[in-house]
Amino acid sequence: MAGRATGDHFSRKLLTAMTGKTATTQESVFAARKITKVYHMGEVDVHALRGVDLDLYRGEFVVLLGPSGSGKSTLLNILGGLDSPSSGTVFYGDQQLTDFDDAALTRYRRYHVGFVFQFYNLIPSLTARENVGLITEIASNPMTPSEALAMVDLADRADHFPAQLSGGEQQRVAIARAVAKRPEVLLCDEPTGALDVQTGVLVLEVIQKINRELGTTTAVITHNAVIAEMADRVIHLSGGKITGVETNTTKREAAELTW
Amino acid sequence: MNSLNRKLFRDLWQMKGQAVAIALVMSCGIATFVLSRSMLHSLQLTQDTYYQRYNFADVFATLKRAPESLTERLAEIPGVGQVQTRIVVNVNLSVPGFDEPASGKLISLPETHRPRLNQLYFRQGRWLAPGRDDEVLASEAFSLANDLHVGDTISAVINGRQKKLRIVGIALSPEYIYEIKPGDLLPDNEHFGVFWMNHEALSIAYDLDGAFNDLSISLLHGASAPEVIQRVDDLIEPYGGLGSYDREDQLSNKFLDNEIEQNRNMGMFAPTIFLAVAAFLLNVVMTRTINTQREQIAALKAFGYSNLEVGGHYLKSVLLIVAGALLVGIPMGIWFGGVVTEMYAKLFHFPEFTFRIYPSVLLGASGVAMTAGVLGTIGSIARAVRLPPAEAMRPESPTGYGPTLLERLGLGRLVPPVALMVLRQLERHPLKTMLSTIAIALAVSVLVLGNYMQDSVNYMMAAQFHWVQRYDMSVATTEAVADRAIYELGSMPGVLLCEPNRYVSVRLRAGSRHRRVGILGIRSDSDLFGLVNMDGKPVPLPPGGLLVSQKLAEILDVGVGDWVQLEVLQGKKPIRQAMIAGTLQDFAGLSVYMEIDALRQLMREGPVVTGAHLLVDPKFQTALYRELKETPLISAVTVKQHAIDSFDKTVAENLRVMKSINLLFACIIAIGVVYNSARISLSERSRELATLRVVGFTRGEISAILLGELAVITLAAIPVGLVCGRFFAWWMTIAFDQELFRFPLVISQQTYAFAAAVVLVASTASGLVVRRRLDELDLVAVLKSRE
Ligand SMILES: Nc1ncnc2c1ncn2[C@@H]1O[C@H](COP(=O)(O)OP(=O)(O)O)[C@@H](O)[C@H]1O
Ligand SMILES: [Mg+2]
């Protein structure tokens, strides 16, 4: 077992060295190889991912850009351990996610990943503080819910229920919840999809701040090309394939964005 | 408290109305379980300890006269433990201040020692003084009913002579826990009592010096009762033995066992219904909750809550509802236990009866309630556990509505659009629609069942007192006498009509099966004694042969045309053959009727009688009582009105209590089911309804859409429930089918109407409560929330 894992690890390093445009000195957090995902919908097979190779590096801010239905969410869910690919391998550091059983995936999500969803997915019967608490209670080295809420500028709304918050505020609570455990990676699936521009920008600012201040590797999904301007790297997805990767020479501040 | 538990409590609080309704339905199941099981064990324990401590005999026999020397030979029978011989006689009594005749049993007590078997529990006063022939111990039941105390006197006709007897003590016996006159269906403690008297006094009065006429035997452990009975019968036969019998046929024990059996049945039946309904309601609510919380579940899982934690979270909320139900149901069951204990006190006379709470029963109740809760919800919880988080993030695709049956038939245009929406909704969830219908139908059927018992007993009593017993009084003679004596009765004051009868104790035998019964010989043109089936149809008395209870025919496994052996248990004890000429579907006991002359012919005797049925002018009733009391020939007088009064005092009262309890239960079920269905529909459809409001539908229209569904389900459920109720009643009739009572399947129109009305009212009330919520529907909030 151990021997094979080391071998895989070695070949992965090798692959990175051969294909990586970015400096090989950068440590990769995720390495996905040849992943496919097929959904069987009765008679038809939906190929959501058709062989994706992808690396995410420590501390970087990546935007996954692509039209609706291109497989962005599927890819993100696989990286986050919410789903597994039909074929291919995914490494998280030197651990092979695609070998994980359900319990191991749960532990992985519990200790390493922070999610932000398009529709916030807060627990409506819990206050902002309690929604964050729900996660810090099971994490190994969390901040306090108050600290996390302060990071997203919502300290004063800590005792409000989701229904008493605006969409942008709810999304910031969701970000506080995602980062309170100090995750290694922050995965955001269309975090501004349900928000107006101003609120969307506010949310993006918070995400950018987390990425900078905590150094959390961050992947943000969007179909909005403007948002891509704030990324270190932009990965284009179309029809379940990566159609291009570009590195931004100059990153724009979230606050400067508009669409 | 951690955040997940906080969510649990807040979510429960959100659905508190439903949680309370479900917990209440469940608590009814728990209460009936606790009541029936505890009562079952309490009765059994009390019966066992009473029987053991007071040496209740195992085998009993009555005979004419046997010498005491027979005792030793009886004791030698293998398997026999103790033998207790005694004198037992039936006497007419009069209680000072009462004109009405009463009758009793005088039982002899040894003067120097306690009886070996059937010992007395001494309540009050003192024991009989040796040598006294004018002292008695009275049974507690009779003393209480007649307000008699130590020191009071009664008089009895002892062997034809009026004698004053002083009550020196009050006692109870394991033989007379249910103190009932042989042949009666219900105890009438005011007019029938048991007394104990010195042996010597009785033996002198009845010329039984050195002899006995009654026998009790205890068996050694492991002895076979049928074998001992056979041997005892052989021994006592020459002395006019009437055939011995074991506890199973001992009257008091038989009624007590019957009650224990009923508790056993109720302990199965009632909790099953309530817990099944509760499980169904939990299922609906939990399925709905988990559907609405799909995305919350996905978020929990995305953040690393394990499947176990998520499943445990929902299981906990189910268990909290079960715990609430236990908190209500257990005290409720214990309280009902007190009520039923009071009811039993009127019927069963124990030295002491306590309704005990058994930890094992409480554990059992918790176990079955939890099982019901878990069984009801395990499916939806498992779905929550299995829910793939990635999938749950995707919005659910809209459920496919299709054209309804009505539309497919091309009738769609005849129905208003609101009605179409209701029908489509119902057709979309056929299973849920069906289950809701069944649950409401169950509520209806519990209501039917609750009143059925009373309908049935009322019918039974009416039939017994109007169709069968058309007489006012029935008298029995001390022995078979020439029918001339009866014509004298006919000329007594106030007697309008007098019909003689002949009663013979026999054992009917068909192959290996047999039963001790009495044959009542009456005239085929009798006006005072009606032979009718349960349905009220008169059954003609066949000119020859036996007319037997259907139940007896079943027990003996014989049919019309079969021959049975008829072993007479008295006189010269002849053995005859007789044909089953007909069967009778009667309500109680095992009866055999025969045309009186045919019976006499079978017995090869002249025109003798053992009693008569009388029709009496009420004006002369008191005078007639007095005269009958003075007539030495008459050993017992039974007044029909007394039986009716006693019924009203005991059984009718008990039935009323049971009925109110049942009504309470049924209302809880009805409201629980209807309210829950309405709330679930509201929660499922608030978004759609709010949208309709926004696009201009009126409040009335959207109420119609929501409540129309409920109305359709309720209206469909009512007839189903009425039919189910009848089925349950029938089932109960079978379950309770005993040799003692056979409840007729009679359900009155009022019972049906009442059941339907209660459920309609409950539905309407729940509908109105939900409608109020609909009026308060926050359109903006509903539309803003994503579902
Ligand atoms: N659970 C699923 N079952 C069936 N098809 C799915 C499922 N999830 C995603 N798909 C399909 O896979 C493709 C990619 O979906 P997704 O990753 O959600 O795209 P995106 O997030 O880029 O809009 C789409 O065609 C979608 O319909
Ligand atoms: Mg998506």
Tens digit of pLDDT for each residue in A109-119? 999 999 998 88
Ligand 1, atom 16, residue with closest C-alpha = A71
pLDDT at site B184: 79
**Number of residue pairs across A and B with CB atoms under 8 Å?**
89
Rounded to whole angstroms, the Cα distance separating A60 from B529 reads 104
The model's pLDDT over B284-340, given as tens digits with 9 standing for 90+, comes to 899 989 988 988 999 999 999 999 999 999 999 999 999 999 999 999 999 999 999
**Between B485 and B83, where is the model more confident?**
B83
Q: Is A48 in the pocket of ligand 1 (CB under 6 A)?
A: yes
Q: Average pLDDT of B699-707?
A: 83
CA angle B719, B725, B727 (to 5 degrees): 105
pLDDT class of B735 with cuts at 50, 70, 90: confident
- Residue count of chain B, please give it: 787
Residue B194 token pair: 């048991």
pLDDT class of A17 with cuts at 50, 70, 90: very low
Q: In a 10 Å sphere around its CB, with 0-12 CB exposed, 13-18 middle and 19+ buried, how is residue B338 labelled?
A: exposed
pLDDT at site B395: 60
pLDDT at site B562: 95
pLDDT at site A41: 84
Q: Average pLDDT of A138-149?
A: 93
Residue B631 token pair: 């007539």
Rounded to whole angstroms, the Cα distance separating B518 from B593 reads 8
- B82: closest CA among B216, B181, B246? B216
pLDDT class of A81 with cuts at 50, 70, 90: very high
The model's pLDDT over B90-139, given as tens digits with 9 standing for 90+, comes to 888 888 777 777 889 999 999 888 899 999 999 999 999 998 999 999 99
Q: Is the pLDDT of residue B749 over 50?
A: yes
Question: How far away is chain B from the Cα of A77, in angstroms, using its nearest Cα?
Answer: 6
pLDDT class of B402 with cuts at 50, 70, 90: low
- Hey, what amino acid is at A75? L
Q: Please state whether A71 falls in left (phi above 0), alpha (psi between -120 and 50) or beta.
A: left
Distance A60 CA to ligand 1 centre (A): 26
pLDDT class of B412 with cuts at 50, 70, 90: low
- Determine whether the interchain pair B7/A138 forms a contact, defined as Cβ–Cβ distance below 8 Å: no
- Determine whether the interchain pair A133/B3 forms a contact, defined as Cβ–Cβ distance below 8 Å: yes
What percentage of chain B carries pLDDT values higher than 90?
Answer: 51
- CB contact at 8 A, A128 and A158: yes
Rounded to whole angstroms, the Cα distance separating B775 from B765 reads 15
Distance A237 CA to ligand 1 centre (A): 13
Q: Is the pLDDT of residue B760 over 50?
A: yes
Q: What are phi and psi of A242, to 5 degrees?
A: -80, 120
Q: In the block, which residue shows the tokens 């007379």?
A: B176
Q: Average pLDDT of B509-528?
A: 91
**Between B41 and B407, where is the model more confident?**
B41
pLDDT at site B453: 84
Q: Is the pLDDT of residue B149 over 90?
A: yes
Q: Is the pLDDT of residue A22 over 50?
A: no
Q: What are phi and psi of B370, to 5 degrees?
A: -65, -40
- B736: closest CA among B272, B341, B258? B258
| Cα–Cα distance list, B346 to B139, B140, B253, B365 (Å) | 14, 11, 16, 28
Q: Average pLDDT of B680-688?
A: 80
B 301-320 residues inside an 8 A Cβ radius of A: 301-307
Rounded to whole angstroms, the Cα distance separating B546 from B548 reads 6
**Between B712 and B405, where is the model more confident?**
B712
**Between B415 and B594, where is the model more confident?**
B594
The model's pLDDT over A187-239, given as tens digits with 9 standing for 90+, comes to 999 999 888 898 899 999 999 999 999 999 999 999 899 999 999 999 999 99
pLDDT at site A242: 96
Q: Is B517 helix (H, G, I), strand (E, B) or coil?
A: strand
The model's pLDDT over B211-229, given as tens digits with 9 standing for 90+, comes to 999 999 999 999 999 999 9
Q: Is the pLDDT of residue A23 over 50?
A: no
| Partner A contacted by B739 (CB < 8 A) | no
Q: Average pLDDT of A11-40?
A: 68
Domain A57-83+100-256 matching CATH 1.20.910.10: the answer reads no
pLDDT at site B731: 85
Q: Is the pLDDT of residue B784 over 70?
A: no
Residue B376 token pair: 């009801």
Shortest CB distance from B304 goes to which of A106, A131, A163? A106
Q: Is the pLDDT of residue A59 over 90?
A: yes
- CB contact at 8 A, B422 and B721: no
E-state strands within chain A: 28-41, 44-57, 61-65, 87-92, 95-96, 113-116, 185-189, 217-222, 233-238, 241-247
pLDDT at site B781: 67
**Is beta strand A113-116 parallel, antiparallel or unpaired with respect to B575-584?**
unpaired
pTM of the model: 0.84
The number of the ligand nearest the C-alpha atom of A74 reads: 1
- Determine whether the interchain pair B2/A82 forms a contact, defined as Cβ–Cβ distance below 8 Å: no
CA angle B346, B622, B492 (to 5 degrees): 125
- Ligand 1 atom with least separation from CA of A76: 17
Q: Is A1 in the pocket of ligand 1 (CB under 6 A)?
A: no
* Least-confidence region, from A16-30, A74-88, B54-68, B624-638: A16-30
- B16: closest CA among B675, B761, B731? B675
pLDDT class of B747 with cuts at 50, 70, 90: very high
Q: Which residue of B has its CA nearest to A119?
A: B786
Rounded to whole angstroms, the Cα distance separating B637 from B612 reads 10
- A240: closest CA among A15, A18, A80, A39? A39
For chain B, the average pLDDT equals 88
**Is beta strand B546-549 parallel, antiparallel or unpaired with respect to B513-522?**
unpaired
Rounded to whole angstroms, the Cα distance separating B616 from A257 reads 110
What percentage of chain B carries pLDDT values higher than 70?
Answer: 96
* Least-confidence region, from A123-132, A136-145, B332-341, B408-417: B408-417
**Is beta strand A233-238 parallel, antiparallel or unpaired with respect to A241-247?**
antiparallel
Question: How far away is chain A from the Cα of B365, in angstroms, using its nearest Cα?
Answer: 33
Q: Is the pLDDT of residue B84 over 70?
A: yes
- CB contact at 8 A, B363 and B60: no
pLDDT at site B364: 96
- CB contact at 8 A, B728 and B445: yes
pLDDT at site B389: 85
Q: How many CB atoms lie within 10 A of CB B431?
A: 7
Where in chain A are the domains?
57-83+100-256
The model's pLDDT over B417-459, given as tens digits with 9 standing for 90+, comes to 777 777 777 777 787 788 788 888 988 988 898 888 889 888 9
Q: Is the pLDDT of residue B636 over 70?
A: yes
Q: Is the pLDDT of residue A256 over 70?
A: yes
Range from A53-57, B452-456, B510-514, B771-775 that averages highest in pLDDT:
A53-57
- CB contact at 8 A, B150 and B170: yes
Picking from B307, B385, B386, B393 by the largest number of A CB atoms within 10 A of its own CB, the best residue to mutate is B393
Q: Average pLDDT of A151-176?
A: 93
Q: Which residue of A has its CA nearest to B14?
A: A125
The model's pLDDT over B177-205, given as tens digits with 9 standing for 90+, comes to 999 988 777 888 988 999 999 999 999 99
Q: Average pLDDT of B704-716?
A: 86
pLDDT class of B411 with cuts at 50, 70, 90: low
- Determine whether the interchain pair B6/A83 forms a contact, defined as Cβ–Cβ distance below 8 Å: no
pLDDT at site B241: 82
For chain A, the average pLDDT equals 88
Rounded to whole angstroms, the Cα distance separating A185 from A113 reads 5
CA torsion sign for A155, A161, A166, A167 is positive
Q: Is A88 in the pocket of ligand 1 (CB under 6 A)?
A: no
- Ligand 1 atom with least separation from CA of A37: 12
- Paired strand residues for B169: B125, B137
pLDDT class of A24 with cuts at 50, 70, 90: very low
pLDDT at site B400: 57
Q: Is the pLDDT of residue B660 over 50?
A: yes
